[in-house]
Chain A
Amino acid sequence: MIDFWLHPAFILIVGALLLPIMKNPVVRRPFLVLVPVLTFAQILAVNAKPGVYGVVSYLNWNLTFGRVDNLSTIFAFIMGLMCIIGTVYGMHDKNQFQHMASWFYAAGSLGVIYCADYLVLFLFWEMMSFGSVFLIWCAKGPKALKAGYRYLFVHTAGGLFLLAGFVLRYQATGGDLFFGPLDVANPQLYTYLIAIGLIVNAAVPPFHSWLPDAYAEATFNGSVFLCAFTTKTAIYACIRALSGMDLLIPLGLVMILGAIIYGIMENDSRRVLAWDIISQVGYMVVGIGIGTPLAINGAAAHAVVHILYKSLLFMGVGSVMYMTGKTKLTELGGLYKKMPVTMFLTLIGGLSVSAFPLFCAFVSKAMIITAAMNEHMMWTGYLLLVGSAGPFVYVCLKLVYYIFFGEECDADTMDKAAEPPVNMKIAMMFGAFMCVLVGTYVPFLYNMLPFQFVEYHPYGAYHIAETLQILAFAGFGFFVFRKYLKPTDTISIDLDWIYRMFGRGFYWFDKMVVERVDTWVSRIWDFVLITILMQVSKFWSWFDWHAIDGVVDGLARSVRSLGGQVRRLQSGQIQYNIYFAATVMAIAIFAYAFAS
């Protein structure tokens, strides 16, 4: 029997490579569905047989591409599903390059999820970075180009931290490349380096600014992929390596509350959602920091539901952008009349992110809060509950209200507004269905969680009452404060100011200092060295003219003069020739006679 293990990412990579030859829409469209569906089927097949597969010997290392266990299966499942949803959503897009980038990106994510050593992790980690940046660049335009470069800069820096960390660890441990739990109780330099490398992708402060910067500039369907893969793959890697690292708890709390505050201030609809990604990923980071089985279950469950509702929200906002070309809340409003189905489906995403009972986040977020309370981290627990009021206010109410209700947008935008193409609606409906399915049929999600021995029942009366009261009165707070929440044509300065200004400062330094020094050096060169060189050259010119040429010319003049004399002697008359010859011979004979 041949022991052959087909990596699901391989199907996506081959599909991406074959895609450019599928030019005919009749062939391309089924192919765009077939490849992610086959990948998902292979994920299900792989997940059914836990174990270690795909071990490849390279130099002195055994590289492991296939570690199938309780943690990798749930993450691979949701990534595979998301790949289908995202591809169907953008299926009508004729930009083949974008579909290829999406599939390479998703393949990178699956590669990270199934790998078991740092070398393979790094390979797929970088594949994700380079696949995803094209989803931003495909939006075209100078803003997308710049945002893409900033995105790549941050992720390359993060990748280098990861590389430095695992190389140091390899050295310190005598050749261990295994990607597993790090000793977070006794952290070494390499632990922190690996941690930084991983949390850059999870958008943990102070490395978070790339996320709203990049996701708001991506294409309408690119942001649907982006919102799902990078941060949640990083969360998977953090669960794998950093569970129980205390430092992650305060960092996660800063993410949750800080991102809510920035989300409230934001005007661009996709940036609002991007801030909400940071906020919700904050819950997962806190869960990883707590590190108990319930907290890890909560982090994994919240990652799954977050992918479902956040992709739904990005699809809703992406539909508005696709149809109207607008993303700013100040330029939108009253669209429910033209896009009622999109409004309804986006609202389901909003209710899901708010963790309303019967919607998906209700069954996941509370696990992390309960885990904090069970560990007697009361402040953490209550701050997590403060954070749970936020999404309802700025996503479900503010975003949905100012896009679909509120003051009607201008006539031109209103004319353009209409329901999106059918494939986009199908993807959104499926996403909404999944949000409700996971929220209502709890075993669907809970049977996939990494720690099956942990019991948790979300639909207790106390939990429902607590959640509904918080949400209802947070909504009341929005109602009272709504005139202060009106979006404004502004952006908010964030920590990306540092590297943006560093780049600008570097440019200024180059222009004002380096360029000037270069000019002065050129002038000094011209003034001092060229002058000296000219004088030296003049001297040698004079010397050449008067000395060398004098000698040579003098010699020539002497030869010419002598030649002239000789010429006179050769008159051609025989008597003169005999006379000169006899004279010379007589002189010679006399000279010889006297000399001897």
Chain B
Amino acid sequence: MIIRLVEYLQERLQTVIAVCYVLMAGLTIWGSVVAYHSHHTHMFFEKWPGFWSLFGLVACFGLLIVAKWLGNCVKTREDYYDD
């Protein structure tokens, strides 16, 4: 059943991606509305529309860029310690 579900989704990959985009947009709108009305925000900028979406994206990009840059410095061959 799991295999069939995975293959069903793989066959409709473009649709899955489109649904994901729609969900992301919907989530951002809903999240912005919730943040606007919420008293749980910690700082004023958390009420900005789409703040947490942008936060997630920037956090991910930041981590990936640092990992990519650091990888150039610290990555080495697998048998580095073997000899």
Quick one: closest A residue to B77, CB to CB?
A: A490
Q: For chain A, what secondary structure do more than half of its interface residues adopt (helix, strand, loop), or is it mixed?
A: helix
Task: Write the nearest CB–CB distance from B70 to chain A, whole angstroms.
Answer: 6
Residue pair A389, B42 in contact (C-beta under 8 Å): no
Judging by beta carbons under 8 Å apart, are A381 and B42 in contact? yes
Once the chains are docked, how many angstroms separate the CA of A489 from the CA of B75? 9
| B contact residues vs A (CB 8 Å cutoff) | 2-3, 6, 20, 23-24, 27-28, 30-31, 34-35, 38, 40-43, 50, 52-57, 59-64, 66-68, 70-71, 74-78, 80-81
Q: Which residue of B lies closest to A472 (CB)?
A: B24
Which residues does chain B contribute within 8 Å of A386, judged by CB atoms?
A: 55, 59, 62-63
A468 contacts across to B, CB distance below 8 A: 27, 31
Is the beta-carbon distance between A470 and B40 smaller than 8 angstroms? no
Other-chain residue from A336, A477, A488, A500 in contact with B64 (beta carbon distance below 8 A): A477
Instruction: Write out the residue numbers on chain A whose beta carbons fall within 8 Å of the beta carbon of B78.
Output: 489-491
Which are the 9 A-B pairs with shortest beta-carbon distances?
Answer: A477-B60, A473-B56, A470-B56, A465-B31, A340-B2, A469-B52, A264-B67, A474-B60, A473-B57
Please give the residue numbers on chain A whose beta carbons come within 8 Å of chain B beta carbons, in ascending order. 257, 260-262, 264-265, 336-337, 340-341, 343-344, 373, 378, 381, 385-386, 389-390, 393, 405, 460-463, 465-466, 468-478, 481, 484-485, 488-494, 500
Given known A385-B59, A465-B35, contact A490–B76 (CB-CB < 8 A) = yes
A343 near B2 with CB under 8 A, answer yes
Partner of A265, one of B31, B67, B77: B67
Tell me the complex Cα distance, A262–B34, Å. 35
Given contacts A461-B34, A500-B81, contact A470 B67 (CB under 8 A): no
A264-B63 contact in complex given A461-B38, A476-B57, A493-B74, C-beta closer than 8 Å? yes
Residues from chain A with Cβ under 8 Å of B53 in the complex = 469-470, 472-473
Cβ-neighbour of B60 out of A466, A478, A484, A494 (below 8 A): A478
Q: Do the beta carbons of A472 and B27 come within 8 Å of each other?
A: yes
Shortest beta-carbon distance, B54 to chain A, in Å?
7
**Across the interface, which residues of A come within 8 angstroms of B64, CB to CB?**
264, 393, 477-478, 481, 484-485
Given the known interface contacts A393-B63, A492-B71, the answer about A477 and B2 at a Cβ–Cβ threshold of 8 Å is no
Which residues in A have their C-beta under 8 angstroms from that of B38?
461-462
A471/B2 contact (C-beta < 8 A), A265-B71, A386-B62 known = no
Chain A residues contacting B60 (CB-CB under 8 Å) are 389, 393, 473-478, 481
Complex CA–CA separation, A262 to B66 (angstroms)? 10
